[in-house]
Amino acid sequence: MVVLDPGHNGGNAAHPSIINAPVPDGRGGTKACNTTGTATNAGYPEHAFTWDVALRTRARLEAAGVRVVLTRPDDVGVGPCVDVRGRSGGRVGAAAFVGIHGDGAAASGRGFHVITSSPPLAGTAMATASSALARAVRDAMTAVEPVSNYLGSDGLDQRSDLAGLNLSTVPAIYIECGNMRNATDAAWMSSAAGRDAAAARLAAGILRFLGR
Ligand code: ZN
């Protein structure tokens, strides 16, 4: 079983009191329950991108015989908060947790990057497994999108501040599939064909990690 976590949600912007509420960040502090996410300059929102890519990825994983749990049921609701998302992999006994996002960086930045939690909170073995998951997805994604030219190293980045990764007790990554503020990335991220190609590679990377 795999948990796919489509970042943000369509109703978040209309419910600031809910999504701005503090929740545990996994390192003894707090952060906001959730955020609205970014958008392309033309207004295609990140929450719609992540939802569509998650559905397309789920379809491919299920076709390969992998059970998939999504952290939200639709693209019109609010939340769930990042701590709930982060704990979801352990709650359902998943083999992997994959958070799907699109970045909102400076327009010159292009490419995808995969993020793991560091320093690791879930133990050395889990950190090693998360790194293996990150590399498998990175290797698969390079077939359709270059690695980030503005963040991380060779498509891999590590962060301490992401509750969704910090609180996971199963191998966990976030993937920023592209930069929605970059014209080249925005073009494919706004296209169904582009999202389908990305989902195919994302699924391939997850399947590789699962040894299938
Ligand atoms: Zn995001």
Which residues have CB less than 5 Å away from ligand 1 (the ion)? 7, 37, 101
176 as an active site residue: the answer is yes
Question: Of all residues in the chain, what percent carry a pLDDT higher than 70?
Answer: 100
Rounded to 10°, the helix 192-210/124-141 angle is: 140
- Say how many Å lie between the CA of residue 50 and the centre of ligand 1: 8
Does residue 23 surpass a pLDDT of 90?
yes
* Rounded CA separation 113/102 (Å): 10
* Rounded CA separation 212/197 (Å): 20
Tens-place pLDDT, residues 28-39: 999 999 999 999
pLDDT at 150: 98
- Say how many Å lie between the CA of residue 96 and the centre of ligand 1: 19
8 Å CB contact between 150 and 69:
no
Q: What is the mean pLDDT of residues 98-107?
A: 98
Q: How far is CA 158 from CA 22, 28, 75, 97, 106, in A?
A: 23, 19, 28, 16, 19
- Say how many Å lie between the CA of residue 109 and the centre of ligand 1: 16
Q: What is the pTM of this model?
A: 0.98
- Say how many Å lie between the CA of residue 212 and the centre of ligand 1: 28
Q: Which residues contact 166 (CB under 8 A, 6 or more apart)?
A: 25, 26, 27, 86, 117, 121, 160
Q: How far is CA 37 from CA 25, 34, 47, 59, 105, in A?
A: 18, 9, 7, 24, 12
Overall fold of domain 2-210: Aminopeptidase (3.40.630)
pLDDT at 122: 86
- Say how many Å lie between the CA of residue 114 and the centre of ligand 1: 12
8 Å CB contact between 107 and 183:
yes
In the set 46, 62, 145, 176, the catalytic residue is: 176
8 Å CB contact between 23 and 81:
yes
Q: Are strands 113-117 and 156-159 parallel, antiparallel or unpaired?
A: parallel
- Say how many Å lie between the CA of residue 6 and the centre of ligand 1: 9
User: Encoding tokens for residue 68?
Assistant: 């998939």
The pLDDT mean for the chain works out to 97
